[in-house]
Amino acid sequence: MSASHHLLRLQCVRCVSHFLGTPVRQVILPGRAHLQTPGSQHIYVQLLRPFHRSAVCSTDRQNRTDIEKLVEDETHHKDKTLVTHDDIFDRAAGDSKTKVEFNRVVDVFKSKDIRRRGHVEFIYAALKKMPEFGVECDVTVYNKLLDVFPKEVFVPQNFIQRMFNHYPRQQECGVQVLEQMENYGVMPNIETKVLLVQIFGEKSHPIRKFQRIMYWFPKFKHTNPYPVPHVLPSDPVDLAQFSLTRIAADLDAKITIYQYPSTDITETGEEITRPHIVGIQSPDQRSLLAKHNPCKPVFVEGPYPLWLRQKCVHYYLLRADPIPPEEKVEEEIDPEMICPEQSLFFPQRVELDLNVDMGDDHSFNVDEVEEGAVYAMCMAGQGDQATLSQWISGLQETCPILGQIPTVFRLESGPRELQTSTDAHQRPEQEAETDQIIEDDEEPRHSRGVKQ
Amino acid sequence: MSLNKFIVLSRSVRRGRNLFAARVAQTGEYLYQFQSQRFIRSSSRSLAYAKDLFLGKVNKKEVFPYPEISNEELEELNQFVQPVEKFFNESVDSAKIDREANIPPETLDGLKELGLFGIQIPEEYGGLGLSNTMYARLGEITSLDGSIAVTLAAHQAIGLKGILIAGTDAQKAKYLPKLATGEHIAAFCLTEPGSGSDAASIQLRATLTEDGKHYLLNGTKFWISNGGWADIMTVFARTEVVDKDGQKKDKITAFIVERAFGGVTSGKPEDKLGIRGSNTTEITFEDTKVPIENVIGEVGDGFKVAMNILNNGRFSMGGAGAGVVKKLIELSAEYAGTRKQFNRRLSEFGMIQDKFATMALNVYVMESMAYLTAGMMDRPGLPDCSLEAAMVKVFSSEGTWICVSEALQVLGGLGFTKNYPYERYLRDCRILQIFEGTNEILRMYVALTGMQHAGKILTGKIKEMKKGNLGVVFEILGKKIKDTVQTADFGLTGKDGVVHPSLTESAKMFEQNAACFGSTVEGLLYRYGKTIVDEQLLLKKVADVLINLYAMTAVLSRSSRSISIGLRNHDHEVLLTNTFCKDAHFKNNYMLSQLQRYSPENDDANIKKIAQDVLAKRAYICSHPLERTF
């Protein structure tokens, strides 16, 4: 609210300025704005330096202790070193790098020097440090950063200034702030606009940049038909459910949780952790599996990676080789029931020796590569064979035929994607097992077919 | 009946004459003539009206003049009609039947006494032995109560029709007498729990016992009208049949099953929107032992039997719908004539008048179509009127729905209450669009059967054209040019015309549409060939045009007859005919232009896309209008 009020007021100010000369304006108008505030002395100062009014008393006493000192140090050393503001964040924050700390540094900088000397450098440094503090996606922090710019100084006052690049470094810096917002997908809000208008004026480069962002961002906001939420579920079972429904892309597919993660302590004091096993299967897949030729093996394959924003999860497939064409059985429906001469069921064909006319054939020539059917998918806390065979035996409850089909485990040793160290602990512990057929006595339920 | 007898008699006389002539000729010639006579007889009904419209042909002999019944038949019919009408007006409490979802036994007894359970069963088996036309007339009255109409229809239009059409004499003698009196009630068991209109959905299995004398039935049937009451059921089941190549195949076979055979259990009656008094249940068969004598027709021919039963039963829905709407016109007209608003009667308002016109037009068309079709079916021989019957069903079920809704609208809020019968009729008539083949399936059936018929004949020509045979191309081009220069003329009007001169304009419109329809069908076949099956939106339009064409034929034929013999108010009929034909003509023109290649009127691609988008997400996918992005 207040932000838009500001905007309105600024616009009024503009209107009035048409009647008054530019030099006069600077003196009179801000004064007008402050006519109500008590303390004429204050007003006098403000009259002279109008653009500083927002910086007045923005910090409290406690915050201005050591950081202030630091900043002071910075300014003293300023003439000697080129890199000035980078360290201040590091030193100020110490161990805890949070939004609060970041804001505190910005506040201190603002309150330290009424002239905001070196604010461009400070803003660049702050932009660089934002990801470290984890505030790179926070629009309020960006607004706070923009607030560091002194107001109304860089607003062009006449057409010559407007024609040329007025205060290029500052404008560039403003654009840079917006650019970083853009890169992190942060949508500017009305406060951003108010600030930019106050700082750079209506037709400046940062405002143009702002307008472009506001044109494109909303348009692109929903381009992804399969959006991933910003905050992923932290529970591995929930995450697995989310990822599996995402891959399955079948609204009928049903999730089954075969095992919840749990930790047991045996009598001997050993700790046994049971990993979670979450599977998904659609009715179509189930009926395909039911028709599978029991003489042919099915394969458990994986792990395959799936990226969800910053996170990588792994899934496993139960699939079969494609059926060779000579073994395909085509289901015949009684021709009597689908021909056009009957009105009970749906007429599904006409017996004509005619095909689509060449001119009307709008279909594309598509080469179709046949692949083996995928019967089910799962995600598990551990990628070892024991866990996955638990999944298979769980599947047997709905697909009893799986008991007669030999199951072959083709597990890769580990994820094939590069991972950062933070993701490393999510990587399922893999055992190097390739093309290993389970022995009969180990898993008697689902490998009867491969007795050797 | 007597008409049939007369025609059979005249046939035999003719044959006798032939025999006589043949005696003069040589023996060989005699044989030939005899055979050819037989040939002509069996093919005498090969002319099909609706199917030939697909070829751009109008077999006017099939539909002109409008079929009539003899004076004796009419008298006989009126004898039945009066008591039935009296019974329905005085003894049937439809509101109660609807409320209690049950037809009281005394009402059923009354119906039985009137012989309404055996309308079409021949007199020798104790039925009334009425023709299709007369059945349709009685259907107009019985339809005044939806529940009773459906109960009766399930009993005789489909339930026992199998025995009537394809049963052996022994089967007829055993079952029909008791069915005719209503002592036994029949049901038709075809639909199964698997999706209703899917070919693979018949799972009920009949297995031959070891002694080879019985079948054991196992399985479940769904939505069986009269399921709870029926004593005799026509059941369709899968049986194993060894075909010519010695391979075993599953085929459908029809059985007559008595409840007394054992193992038959009915479920709870369904709670329905309309026709609440009718008894719709699930029926389960568990090792029901059916003797092989109870197979209807041949083993493995069940599907044909089912088709014949259904195809022949549908026409009566036209009469039923007309009966309901005629009654509602009376009721709502009385209201519109007495109710005053702003010091004017409701009937003086244009928009109310519009509703009555719509109702009158629809009833007129429904009646005309129903009795034209019934008349065609009553002609001797084995008439193939399945297309016509399906069209009558589609048109009248939708027409009835519109008309009942309009009648309700005339009363406004009052019509919405249970104090008036409108809401009940509205609920009851909704089922017409669903049962005995949904309107969607029937449209596909009508369009594809016709396409198949036309395709068989046009294939050769189109193939030649595609090959680039110049002779054929020129021939067709010449025909096209001739068609565009000359207006279409099938000889309905003019010197030897069959349509009354006062309907000339309408007849011309019909001819024009029919000619255009023929060439459009040809174009569609040329464009799509056998892949036309997948173009359901086009087929729907084809079916709609055909239904309109048949409706135009029916009203033209009927009103021509009315003028010629001077029926009361025939000038009103002329008015209705001309209005309907004009309306249908422009609708047809629009649809036919949609069927042309690259037609700007045709929005099928967009419609498909919309549906696909919605169905992919299984929801309405637009953002809410209050939603914002920044």
In angstroms, the CA A387 to CA B364 distance is 73
Query: A64, A120, A112: which is closest to A92 by C-alpha?
Result: A64
A277 and A408: one domain? yes
Cα–Cα dist A271/B61, whole Å: 93
Beta bridge mates, A301: A317, A410
Please choose, from the candidates B450, B595, B479, the residue with its C-alpha nearest in 3D space to the C-alpha of residue A360: B595
Which pLDDT band, with edges at 50, 70 and 90, does A15 fall under?
A: very low
CA distance A193 to A139: 12
Cα B579 from Cα B576, distance rounded (Å): 5
Cβ of B532 within 8 Å of Cβ of A350? The answer is: yes
Does A438 map to a domain?
A: no
DSSP, residue by residue, A47-69: HHSGGGGGGTT-S-TGGGSHHHH
The neighbour count for residue A355, using CB atoms within 10 Å, is 12
Q: Is the pLDDT of residue B597 over 70?
A: yes
Least confident of A116-120, A168-172, B194-198: B194-198
| Cα separation values, B554 from A2, B66, B386, Å | 76, 8, 16
How long a stretch of residues is chain A? 452
Q: Over the stretch A283-307, which tens digit does the pLDDT of each residue have?
A: 999 988 988 888 899 999 988 999 9
CB A99 within 8 A of CB A138: yes
Shared-domain flag, residues A115 and A158: yes
Kindly determine whether residue A340 and residue B307, on different chains, have CB atoms separated by under 8 Å: no
Note the pLDDT tens digit of each residue in A417-430: 444 444 444 444 44
| Mean pLDDT computed over B203-224 | 91
CA distance B515 to chain A (A): 23
Same domain, A247 and A299: yes
Q: In sequence order, what are the residues at sequence separation of 6 or more whose Cβ sits closer than 8 angstroms to the Cβ of residue A114?
A: A49, A52, A55
Tell me: the pLDDT tens digits for B225-247? Answer: 999 999 999 999 988 888 777 78
A215, A231: one domain: no
Closest CA to B232 of B130, B118, B141, B146: B118
Given a cut of 60, is residue A237 above it in pLDDT? yes
DSSP β-bridge partners for residue B281:
B224
**Are the CB atoms for B285 and B218 separated by under 8 Å?**
yes
Cis amide prior to A347 (ω within 30 degrees): no
Q: State the CATH architecture for B186-304.
A: Beta Barrel (2.40)
φ and ψ of A115, to 5 deg = -90, -5
Shared domain check, A153 and A102 = yes
Contact B448 A350 (CB under 8 A): yes
Q: Considering the domain boundaries, does residue A7 fall inside one?
A: no
Instruction: Specify the pLDDT at position B22.
Output: 41
Positive or negative, the CA dihedral A372, A378, A382, A387 is negative
Predicted-complex ipTM score: 0.73
Cα separation, A375 vs A281, whole angstroms = 7
Query: Mind listing the pLDDT tens digit for each residue in B317-341?
Result: 889 999 999 999 999 999 999 988 8
Greater pLDDT, A437 or B423:
B423
Instruction: Among A217, A337, A341, select the one facing B630 at the smallest CB separation.
Output: A217
CA gyration radius, chain B: 26
pLDDT band at B490 (very low <50, low <70, confident <90, very high): confident
pTM of the model: 0.81
State whether A376 and A267 are in the same domain: yes
pLDDT of residue B41: 39
User: Which helix (DSSP H) or strand (DSSP E) does residue B221 occupy?
Assistant: strand B214-225
Higher pLDDT, B559 or B29: B559
Share of chain B above pLDDT 90, in %: 65
* Pair (A187, A207) in one structural domain: yes
At A50, give phi and psi (nearest 5°): -60, -30
In this predicted structure, what is the pLDDT of residue B530?
A: 86
C-beta atoms of B449 and A349 within 8 A: no
A68/A190 same-domain check? yes
Residue B461, chain A, CB below 8 Å: the answer is no
Strands A311-320 and A298-308: antiparallel
Tracing tokens 């932009």 back to the chain, one arrives at A127
Residue among A187, A251, A342 minimizing CB distance to B307: A342
Q: Are A408 and A298 in contact (CB under 8 A)?
A: yes
Residue B392 CB neighbours (<10 A): 33
Would you place residue A164 in the very low, low, confident or very high pLDDT band (cuts 50, 70, 90)? confident
Q: CA of A280 to nearest chain B CA: how many angstroms apart?
A: 19
Neighbour tally for A230: CB within 10 Å: 8
Q: Among partner residues B306, B462, B623, which is closest to A344 by beta-carbon distance?
A: B306
Does A184 share its domain with A256?
Answer: no
In A63-156, alpha helices (H): 66-77, 86-93, 99-112, 119-133, 139-146
pLDDT greater than 80 at residue A313: yes
Confidence grade of residue B194 (pLDDT, cut at 50, 70, 90): low
Whole-number percent of chain B with pLDDT over 70: 91
**Interface check A342 vs B, CB under 8 A:** yes
Number of neighbours of residue B379 by Cβ within 10 angstroms: 16
B459 in contact with A, Cβ within 8 Å: yes
List Cβ neighbours of A10 (8 Å cut-off, separation of 6 or more): A197, A198
Does residue A323 belong to the interface with chain B, where contact is any CB pair within 8 Å? no
Report, in angstroms and rounded to the nearest whole number, the Rg of chain A calculated over CA atoms: 34
Q: Give how far B447 is from chain A: nearest CA, Å.
A: 9
Average pLDDT, chain A: 76
Per residue in A315-360, pLDDT (tens digit) is 999 999 988 888 777 766 667 777 777 777 777 788 888 888 777 7
Domain count, chain A: 2
In a domain, A449, yes or no: no
Q: Alpha-carbon distance A19 to A16, whole Å?
A: 6
Is pLDDT of A155 > 90? yes
> What is the maximal distance between C-alpha atoms in chain A?
102
Structure tokens at A20: 């008054």
In CATH, the architecture of B441-614 is Up-down Bundle (1.20)
- Measured between CA atoms, the residue of chain B closest to residue A338 is B199
Give the whole-angstrom CA distance, residue A305 versus residue A311: 10
The rounded distance, in Å, linking the Cα atoms of B616 and A226 is 13
Amino acid in the structure at residue B313: G
Q: What is the C-alpha to C-alpha distance for residues A169 and A191, in angstroms, rounded to an integer? A: 22
Q: Is residue A30 part of a domain?
A: no
Provide the residue ranges of all domains of chain B, joining segments of one domain with +.
186-304, 441-614
CA-nearest of B201, B185, B205 to B193 is: B201
To which residue do tokens 């998918």 refer? Answer: A377
pLDDT at B548: 97
Cβ-based contacts of A212 with chain B (< 8 Å): none
Determine the Cα–Cα distance for residues B247 and B265; give it in Å rounded to an integer: 34
- Length reported for chain B: 630
Assess contact for B147 and B278: CB atoms under 8 A.
Answer: yes
Amino acid symbol at B396 = S
DSSP conformational letter for B117: G
Centre a 10 Å sphere on the Cβ of residue B531 and count the other Cβ atoms it contains.
18
> In this structure, is residue A32 part of a structural domain?
no
Q: What are phi and psi of B130, to 5 degrees?
A: -85, 155
A340 touches chain B (CB under 8 A): yes
Closest alpha carbon to A33 in A152, A143, A117, A115 = A152
Give B67-125 pLDDT, tens digit per residue: 999 999 999 999 889 999 999 999 999 999 999 999 999 999 999 999 999 999 999 99
SS3 B87: helix
Q: Confirm or reject contact between A221 and chain B (CB < 8 A).
A: yes
For residue B442, give how far its alpha carbon lies from the nearest alpha carbon of chain A (Å): 6
Q: Which residues in B362-418 belong to E strands, given as ranges?
A: none
Q: Are A159 and A288 contained in the same domain? A: no
Q: Are residues A192 and A212 located together in one domain of the fold?
A: yes
- Residue A56 pLDDT greater than 70, yes or no: no
Tell if the CB–CB gap between B198 and A346 is shorter than 8 Å: yes
The verdict on whether B85 is a catalytic residue reads no
Percentages helix, strand, coil for chain A, rounded to the nearest 5? 45, 15, 40
Chain A contacts of B629, Cβ < 8 Å? 217-218, 221-222
Q: How far is B284 from chain A (nearest CA, A)?
A: 22
- DSSP 8-state class, residue B237: E
Which residues between 305 and 334 in chain B have a beta carbon less than 8 angstroms from any beta carbon of chain A?
A: 306-307, 310-311
Domain, as residue range, for A118: 62-221
Q: Is A308 exposed, middle or buried (0-12, 13-18, 19+ CB in 10 A)?
A: middle
> Are A188 and A259 in a shared domain?
no
The pair of three-digit structure tokens given for residue B446, joined into one six-digit string: 């009508």
Average pLDDT over residues B169-198: 85
Eight-class DSSP state of B531:
G
- Residue type present at position A56: V
